Structure 1
Amino acid sequence: MKLLIIAPEQNTVPPPIGGSVENSIYQITKHISNKHRVTIVSLWRKHLPRKSIINNTTILRVRGGSKRKYLRNAIAKVKGNRYDFIQIDNRPGFVTQVRKAFPTTRISVFMHSMIFVCPPMTTKRKANADFRSAKLIIGNSKSLQRSLMKRFPAHKSKMKFVHLGVDTRKFYPSRKASVKSFHLLFAGRLIPRKGVPVLLKAYKKARKSVPSLRLSIAGGTWKPAYKAFLKKTARRLNVPVRFKGNLSRNKMPQFYRSGHCVVCPSQQHEAFGLVNVEAMSCGLPVIASRIGGIPEIIKHGRNGLLVTAYRKPSAFASQIIKLAKHPKLYKSLSIRARRDAANKFSWKRTAKRLVGIYARKS
């Protein structure tokens, strides 16, 4: 199979920092390209070559500047070539122009969230029209698939789901001598929907029962004022928090291994949550909101803990206290978290399922 993947315009493939969509593309193709030929079109940055070849994968990088310019350059780079499938990641708005350039090639849209099919990014009518030219619409979780089906019922028959994965060789556990000083971690974009203020308030409440509790937060933001607000909130609550900034992807495994537990207090629909499987692969239980696709990964009492009343800091605090005060529970969840990550969420498994879907549509 010859597969063309068109990445979003915001980050490079592979991404040095953040870029969960671009990282997913890179990791999946590493496992696809052993038997198939893959071409990725991605954003170009000055420190990167225009063209990279890794096994059977070719990465072509083009100039951006805007969505329109990036897409025009991406199409110009590959127009005239033949592909069995074209996969567009998380940009359904690209489909119409790609269809014009490749009128007979099958197109799939791999969706990573609902953001780009809802206002203010687009209208329901425009997204419906974009999906009309796609052969397949793939969500990264059952929850996202259901949300897409509900919003775009005319395209139900095209919709599938493929869970994302984790590099279990890179994200592995470390031996922790004790959990006397229980270290909480948060990793993700510093935006309101991620629920960091809820975590800060929960942390303050939990410290009343576990005074040695620590918290480190890793992540960047496009709005420095919001990060300043979070720091001000931590000072107002009088809780010690380490803001680690936007860590590179190479530093994330060590960040996870520095802690005992990841807290994911999402306040809005979370399609999948790569942070959760990365933490699990490092042997960390995850305390997370029972929302979106998270319960497909976190199984309450097996590999982590789910919070139903996720808008209440006290609900998170009680789960944090439970984990910090019960070493046997912590150890059990930790072992199963690593086991489930390795058995259910490897990139090899993701790639195999994706290729299988494309093969059935060939």
Structure 2
Amino acid sequence: MTRPRIAFVTPGAFPLPSPNGGSVERVVEKLVPRLVPTIDATIYGRSGRSLARSGMLNGARCIRYPGADKRKYMAHVQSSLMRLEPDIIEVENRPIYVLRLKKRRPRSRVWLHLHSSTFISGKAITRRHLERSFALAERIIVNSEFLRDDVIRRVPWAACKVSVVYPGVDLARFPSQHTPEGAARRHALRAARGWEGRSVVMFLGRLIPIKGVHHLLRILPRLIEQHPSVLLVIVGGAFYGSSRTTAYTRMLQRLGAKYRNHVKFVPYVPHTEVSDWFIAADIAVVPSANREAFGLVNVEAMSSGLPVVATRAGGMKEIIEDGVTGFLVSPEFVEYELEQRLLELLRSEDLRLFMGLKSRERVENAFTWEHSAQRWLALLRESGFEQV
């Protein structure tokens, strides 16, 4: 049986694989190899210093081109696609690329996989071009019901094309702190970092206003007053793989400087190290604003056995079960409710244990990369490839 040839065109922003890459590249890197037993996969991405022009990525062919000039990058991809002649081309998170591909290859079957609302906004693409790209795409995959609703709100007639494929987490890469092995790793990390006797609240992500880190620093004095052992650990930077600062990050540092014994800033860490930060924490907090379409950190923290306190916003309310795997707080009263829910968890080890175990259970049942692959392959079967 001949496997269908599928080409995955990433934005060209980061190399694959890359520990410092963005979430789009991470999803492709984790999802596509799990499709390989069924499909013949080729991934297009940005070249990197230590990466060959072409090679294999866990069973998927990976072809790399310079990505600084996006038009040149797409010209290289177009030329390669002429030779490859894939059955389907999946464009990752760039609807404008759909227009460019279909202009050169009008008969190609093109899917669009959206990972956020950023590149369907008016700042990124005109309404005419957005509607045209949706019209030319055979299928539109999104990563949450929230993003599905956003797409349909912008282009209502595209509703019949939109399907949800949730991202996932690698359970082995993100072990639970509630297993003997995870508990041992947690103990060693906390000892090495001097966290014994501390109640660690963990934020991990980009330091940009939409992620809401300033809310945590504003409520920190009241958390300290009520729970003196609290330690807020903020892991990340303003840019992927960079230590460059911004006015916002400098403002966060000024806020945190008043409470040096209770807040620790950790510069951006590669994804390979993320699990070691979550497994050593007690609570994860994700105070993002409404645009957060999914948030991989939510399922990564949950896989590590942590309760998650997040805003009732975007796709996060599809992941976190309020009162079971963590708490959802109102965006309108985010600081007051964050404070109340964090204190509730800080004061109760039993509640943290209950929610942490439930978090891991929910991830195992719904949010693994294997679940993602099965959903994606179901869409392929619906598209006429019954043999898969």
Report the TM-score, using the length of structure 2 for normalisation: 0.89
Between the aligned partners of 2:96 and 2:236, the Cα distance in structure 1 is 28
Between the aligned partners of 2:281 and 2:176, the Cα distance in structure 1 is 10
Provide Cα deviations, 1:227-259, integer angstroms capped at 9, x if missing partner. Answer: 112101222567732111110111111011121
1:83 partner amino acid: P
Aligned ranges 1:103-182 → 2 under 5 Å: 103-174=106-177, 175=183, 180-182=197-199
1:189 partner amino acid: R
Between the aligned partners of 1:180 and 1:310, the Cα distance in structure 2 is 33
Report if the CA contact (8 A) 1:5-1:41 is conserved: yes
Aligned ranges 1:212-251 → 2 under 5 Å: 212-222=229-239, 224-225=245-246, 226-236=248-258, 240-251=262-273
Which residue number corresponds to residue 295 of structure 2?
273
Between the aligned partners of 2:346 and 2:42, the Cα distance in structure 1 is 47
Report if the CA contact (8 A) 2:284-2:301 is conserved: yes
Identical aligned residues as a percent: 30
Between the aligned partners of 2:367 and 2:223, the Cα distance in structure 1 is 31
Between the aligned partners of 2:378 and 2:260, the Cα distance in structure 1 is 52
Provide Cα deviations, 1:258-314, integer angstroms capped at 9, x if missing partner. Answer: 211110001232111100000000101110000011011000111111101455312
Change (3 A) 1:148 1:179: farther
1:43 partner amino acid: R
Change (3 A) 1:253 1:147: same
Report if the CA contact (8 A) 1:194-1:268 is conserved: no
Which residue number corresponds to residue 2 of structure 1?
5
Between the aligned partners of 1:101 and 1:56, the Cα distance in structure 2 is 28
**Unmatched tracts of structure 2, length 5 or more:** 178-182, 188-194
Provide Cα deviations, 1:10-52, integer angstroms capped at 9, x if missing partner. Answer: 1112221141110100111121001211000000011111111
Report if the CA contact (8 A) 2:15-2:21 is conserved: no
2:245 partner amino acid: P
Between the aligned partners of 1:239 and 1:287, the Cα distance in structure 2 is 23
Which residue number corresponds to residue 325 of structure 1?
347
Report if the CA contact (8 A) 1:201-1:237 is conserved: no
Between the aligned partners of 1:343 and 1:246, the Cα distance in structure 2 is 30
Aligned ranges 1:1-362 → 2 under 5 Å: 1-54=4-57, 56-174=59-177, 175=183, 180-222=197-239, 224-225=245-246, 226-236=248-258, 240-309=262-331, 311-362=333-384
Between the aligned partners of 2:367 and 2:212, the Cα distance in structure 1 is 25
State the 1:154 CA deviation: 2.0
**Unmatched tracts of structure 1, length 5 or more:** none
SS in 2 for 1:224: coil
Between the aligned partners of 2:128 and 2:210, the Cα distance in structure 1 is 25
SS in 2 for 1:79: helix
Between the aligned partners of 1:116 and 1:238, the Cα distance in structure 2 is 38
Report if the CA contact (8 A) 2:235-2:265 is conserved: yes
Change (3 A) 1:235 1:311: farther
Report if the CA contact (8 A) 1:8-1:42 is conserved: yes
Bigger CA drift: 1-10 or 220-229? Answer: 220-229
State the 1:193 CA deviation: 0.4
Report the TM-score, using the length of structure 1 for normalisation: 0.96
